[in-house]
Amino acid sequence: MTEPSTWQKRIAGEWHGRPSLFDHNGTWCGFEEIRRSSDFVDGVTTYRMDGGLIGGGPLAGQFRLGAPFSFGVVDSDADRVYTGPDFFGTGQPYGSFVDSHYYGPGWQVDLNTWNQVLPDGETQVYSSVLYQGWAVVGCFNGLYTRVSDRVESLIEAETRNGSVPYILPTKQAGAFTGELELWGADQKLRGTVSASIGLEPVDLLRTRRTVSWRGAGLDRVFTVETRRDGNRLFFEGPRAWGNAIGFGRASFQSLHFTDVWKVRAREFSIDAEPGMSAGRRLAVVYELFHGGNLDSVLHGLLEWTS
């Protein structure tokens, strides 16, 4: 390969962040001070990760870095293969989002990493859910930037906001709206979808949530009664059923419709800060399944209107 892939060009450079570490219950444990970079030299792509853990509680011994990580990548916009020595697995890009599954011998966990580059091209929404077999043992998530004069302010913001829970407005009706991209399981762009998440608060713990997706052959509107219990959500019909767990500002959701379709999702509340303010922008990723088969990936940025 003489030229890097489109995805590799999109993430070139050094990215800085302070993602938070959560245990399997969603309890905040500490920060990971990280610098991530990748380069494409003479047809060979190498990823590097350097930094250390701040805090971590009982997980510190497992997730504190003893040395910088690095691993080779078979660069492709189809299947990106991670060839070790520090991570082994694959990742599949869908435009500005990549879904990666791999194993880290140093951390002794399997990881499912969702990395979403926002429309500004300079901000990443990152999460890694950590597994022992099929059981979740923790999660890293947060924002990254590669703009040098934004690093200090981003680190300060992530320090304030990393532990803030995912809680959407509870007394103000409104909607998160925007244009999302729909990519097929074949990793080809199907088109643009007009999306809306309408919120009608019932009380401080319950919200009537109406989701609308229209465009690119996707036409679905569904309403669910949403109940919050701590950092957990329960979607209790009538048009979809499921649940979610929050790791800080990121809500990881599983939804089952009343037909053959289901959704695996992450909603990340970008602007959420300590106190009673709720995030005004949501970075969203929805993986849509027809039965057990991935059909498409819908992702992008939504903004709040009251």
pLDDT on residue 110: 98
Contacts (Cβ under 8 Å, ≥6 apart) of 287: 99, 263, 264, 265, 294, 296, 297, 298
Would you mind telling me the total number of residues written for the chain in this entry? Answer: 306
pLDDT on residue 1: 59
Q: Residue 279: which pLDDT band, with cuts at 50, 70 and 90?
A: confident
pLDDT on residue 214: 98
Helix (H) or strand (E) holding 209: strand 206-215
What is the arithmetic mean of pLDDT over 249-261? 97
Percent of the chain with pLDDT over 90: 86
* pLDDT per residue as tens digits for the range 20-56: 999 999 999 999 998 998 887 877 788 899 888 999 9
DSSP 3-state percent helix, strand, coil across the chain (nearest 5): 10, 65, 30
**Separate counts of helices (H) and strands (E) for the chain:** 3, 21
Burial of 302 (0-12, 13-18, 19+ CB in 10 A): buried
Distance CA 67, CA 50 (A): 8
Write down the mean pLDDT value for the chain.
95
Of 213, 19, 13, the closest CA to residue 122 belongs to 13
**pLDDT reading at 66 higher than 90:** no
Distance CA 304, CA 138 (A): 29
Helix (H) or strand (E) holding 40: strand 28-41
Which region among 116-130, 163-177, 266-280, 287-301 has the lowest average model confidence (pLDDT)?
266-280
235 touches 228 (CB < 8 A) = no
* Ordered domains of the chain (ranges, CATH): 6-161 (2.40.128.20), 174-305 (2.40.128.20)
pLDDT on residue 52: 87
**pLDDT reading at 61 higher than 70:** yes
Helix (H) or strand (E) holding 10: helix 6-10
Q: How many CA atoms lie within 13 A of 47 on its CB side?
A: 21
CA distances from 8 to 33, 37, 39, 188, 218 (A): 23, 11, 8, 17, 29
